[in-house]
Amino acid sequence: MSATKREEVSSHLRYIRLELRHMHQMLIKDDLLPDLNEAKEVHAQLDALLDLISDKRVKKIKSQFDNF
């Protein structure tokens, strides 16, 4: 993995970790569920990270089966 790609992955992981920590604190301290948009944002970040580290061949196979 190239240094640039490694830095991008590291940045994504840091952001996701902070967001999940914030959601966890909401659950523990305030006994509140996180906002749905926050959860969707973290999910989108995980998808972006997966796209970043996945092979292009895997993406192509996935897109072929999305129609089913």
Identify the residue with better confidence: 61 or 35: 35
User: Residue 66: what pLDDT?
Assistant: 64
Go through 9-44 and write b for each residue having 16 or more CB atoms within 10 A of its CB, e for each that does not: eeebeeebeebbeebeeeeeeeeeebeeeeeeebee
User: Residue 68: what pLDDT?
Assistant: 47
User: Residue 3: what pLDDT?
Assistant: 81
Task: Give the pLDDT confidence of 1-60 residue by residue, as tens digits.
Answer: 678 888 888 888 888 888 888 888 888 888 888 788 888 888 888 888 888 887 655 555
User: Residue 10: what pLDDT?
Assistant: 84
